[in-house]
Structure 1
């Protein structure tokens, strides 16, 4: 892990700790989602993972479930992305890795990116778009203008049928699918991104890969 990635992770952890320390008022500021800001109500029976959730790995004999509520435009999510990928390489044959949408209202293209990934999922290419959006985040993140045409270019690059992609991107059902993840997140107390659940329990975001690995190992040990 390079120095920049480590610094971003440390900064994200410190920010989360600071917000928790000064109370819920700050957690409901514009860049932190609330049911009002998202125009989405928390799910009455929220679950960390559902049958319809997108699985990045799904081993036949899964011993543990790892869930991330994410925003593709979130810089901290981008910093954690290589760590999650490393965990997938190491534990993908034992752990089910799940990605769930939680676009933040302060990000101009966060919700659009989520719908882009969901439109790709309708053509069996969720993982390809998930990877594309994170590996290119620096090219479009924090932009104040719509990046729909750029994302359409990504759709072409990963081999999607563009006519179907365009139609799916506008389909209200795709937006509702993103909102369904948000509803679960809000119901589970997700207040920012990334938020991780290991074995159904929300964890404190780790400061390093080794700390992340310890959390996964502890989750695996608890299942034995």
Structure 2
């Protein structure tokens, strides 16, 4: 390798290192800004209309901004549910609806209607398991969900009527407004006791939950 090639290689390595450090710094600043927003708007984590899963008296709350057409939300669902199931009553999941994807609006409204019938989890599992068909990126068709939900226990006619009401629309509108307040622009968006993830990932979520459990239940 010539001296010129060595210099060019060194310059390239330094440029990549600077880019990586800049990216880390940018992500950290984003996390800090989101934490500040969360601290200034604590009321957004206290909406009584939201579906929950887990012990109602749990001291640790995972708030998930959720899009039923989001593939990553589907991938995270069993893992998040497992965190709650294995928490021995110390962790609760709170779900907020942000239908960013095409076709997700009706699915979100159906889930709100399912929550009113105390069937959020079984209906959510059908919605997610059939996501590849009704939420196709090329041609989303959420009306297919009504057929898929025929054996879910959901009162279909009651749900069909509910999704047209201002009450259900108000739930979606509130969740979307709260997401905007917290600068949630993609899903799933996680907060644990009001704290956002510094870096997105399952291990990061698990670590933040564990940290909050230790803090909340310290002897």
Question: Is 1:57 aligned to 2:51, yes or no?
Answer: no
Query: Any residues of structure 2 matched to 1:100-119 within 5 Å, and which?
Result: 100-104=96-100, 107-119=101-113
Q: Give the TM-score normalised by structure 2.
A: 0.73
CA distance in 1, matches of 2:113, 2:93: 20
CA distance in 2, matches of 1:90, 1:109: 33
Would the alpha carbon gap of residues 169 and 145 (structure 1) be closer, same or farther in structure 2, given more than 3 Å must change? Answer: farther
Superposition deviation, residue 125 in structure 1: 1.1
CA distance in 2, matches of 1:84, 1:205: 16
Unaligned runs of 5+ in 1: 1-16, 25-43
Would the alpha carbon gap of residues 54 and 103 (structure 1) be closer, same or farther in structure 2, given more than 3 Å must change? Answer: same
- 1:79 maps to what in 2? 75
- 2:63 maps to what in 1? 67
CA distance in 1, matches of 2:197, 2:124: 22
- 1:212 maps to what in 2? 205
CA distance in 1, matches of 2:125, 2:47: 22
Would the alpha carbon gap of residues 139 and 88 (structure 1) be closer, same or farther in structure 2, given more than 3 Å must change? Answer: farther
CA distance in 2, matches of 1:174, 1:199: 26
Superposition deviation, residue 219 in structure 1: 1.0
Would the alpha carbon gap of residues 64 and 163 (structure 1) be closer, same or farther in structure 2, given more than 3 Å must change? Answer: same
CA distance in 1, matches of 2:129, 2:195: 28
Query: Any residues of structure 2 matched to 1:1-224 within 5 Å, and which?
Result: 46-60=43-57, 62-91=58-87, 93-104=89-100, 107-145=101-139, 147-208=141-202, 210-223=203-216, 224=218
Superposition deviation, residue 146 in structure 1: 5.1
Q: Give the TM-score normalised by structure 1.
A: 0.72
Would the alpha carbon gap of residues 205 and 82 (structure 1) be closer, same or farther in structure 2, given more than 3 Å must change? Answer: farther
Would the alpha carbon gap of residues 148 and 140 (structure 1) be closer, same or farther in structure 2, given more than 3 Å must change? Answer: closer
Q: Can you list the C-alpha shifts for 1:101-155, whole angstroms capped at 9, x where unaligned?
A: 0111xx2211111011112122221121122212222222234445343211233
Unaligned runs of 5+ in 2: 1-22, 31-40
